[in-house]
Structure 1
Amino acid sequence: MTAMVLGHRHGAAFWHLPSWERLGYRAFFFLRTGGVSRAPFRSLNLGFTPGEVVEKVQANRLTAFRAAKLGPAAPVLGQQVHGTRLRVVSLRSQGRGWHCGDDALPGTDGLLTIAPGLPVGVATADCLPVLLAATGKVRAVAAVHVGWRGLAADILTLAVKKLSRQWHIAPSQVRAALGPAIGPQAFVVRGEVLALLRAKYPAAVGEKPRGARTAGFDLWQAAQTQLEKAGVSGKNIAVTRECTASHPARYFSHRRDLGQTGRMLALIQIQVPKGRKNKN
């Protein structure tokens, strides 16, 4: 299984994948440390959340951009709605959602591109960020925002299929990285949601329900199950299993902080080969 490594640069902390970098991809899951935001958004808040100072988020994003050595194009982000809309983007979309939230691509929970040097990303504070990289003849990357609704609607299956239909990429050529998210000990589901998820992902639902009508749900397990069913090899799936709700010094958590919190970003790009001008 591919290993993630915790790195630090320019004051920011992030999970990254050295083995992917050797293949020409840069993928990062940022922690909350190293920024300029004040409580309750302290300190590397990378989301334009209500009550936050826009200029602080912009400064934090610049710190993250430099720490990851991304670009040269500005990242593309979507206005996430817990849906299944996946968009293919090119350099024409660079910077959408990066400098302010209002111009992020509307109703979008996944971004795909073949443009070298164009980062795509998702913002999270409990939901699961998933980054995909295709390693075949066609190089492509994707960033997907995955919550229980997305898992129930098979958003990762749709992402793998879109890579295949758009660029003829076989699922066996896809690598996946699953970042920090709320863990099953903190993410308790009940009622119709529990019944739906138990039927679809029985291995991801806790064996010992907390009371008669509740149980913990494992986002990582469910996502890995969905990816493997879509044809992605288990050996090509990297997982952090760091719970956002359980590590307040490292991660923002919407559930733990009752909505008064910031956002982390997960970003991925295809590296620009030296000496090449990007026209995508």
Structure 2
Amino acid sequence: MAELPDLGKQCSVETCKQLDFLPFQCDGCGNVFCSDHRTKDNHGCSLCLQEKTTLEYNGPKAFTCDLNGCGNRELTPLPCEHCQRSFCLRHRHQQDHQCSKLLDAPVRGAKTAEHVKQILAAKEVRAPDKPRRIVNSKSSSTARKVALMKLKMHATGDKGIPDSERVYLNVQLPQTSSLTTAAMFFSKKWSIGRIIDYMTSTHGIPNANNTVTDKKLRLFVNELDEELPVDESLESQISSVLDSGATVILKYVTGLHTHSNETS
């Protein structure tokens, strides 16, 4: 190495002094270092130390509580959102530092309660003097269908009648019968007179329609209290005064002219 004294430079770190043929010059302090100490942190660059010293915070170190007689200090301000004064952790709540805005709270609460009371009074719904019944046509139609299904489950009649001809009726029987009501089905092609004869024979009801007497059995539509003519077919009455599932009344009447009952 003595033959080449001008080649390379020694590391500027006192504890190193290593001769390096490719030294690194620091762009901060300007000194030369070996590969091990080329970074500023590894050789403790004086310029970096100076910058760190310059950036040291010189502002206030803490914030004193504004409550008289406290003296506690906090690293960050804790302002009260009501009176805008800063307090320590112990006195940050309104009640703890006797906030000047705290006196308004009960008044605001009372006003709010009164306002709510007025709203509820305005929305109070009074029941009408007479309840109004709203009839829903859709629900009424559904109820009739359900009633007809129940009627079909218990109805009795001539099993020889085709399903396409059957008309189901809820019959209210006269007091002479052991039953008050009966679910029955009939052929729509039968006359009203034949239907009366079938009802009486099925339930053992006295029938003097074919004799000369003032007391006759007749069939009435329950909702209209309208007599069904004995000579007309059931089919002719379906579209006008009754429908399948309707209620009819079989009862004795007097003072009527004698009509012949068709049986076919």
Q: Same fold, TM exceeding 0.5?
A: no
After TM superposition, the score normalised by the length of structure 2 is 0.24
Return the structure number with greater relative CO, CA threshold 8 A, min gap 6: 1
TM-score (normalised: structure 1): 0.23
Whichever structure has more strand as a proportion of its residues is 1
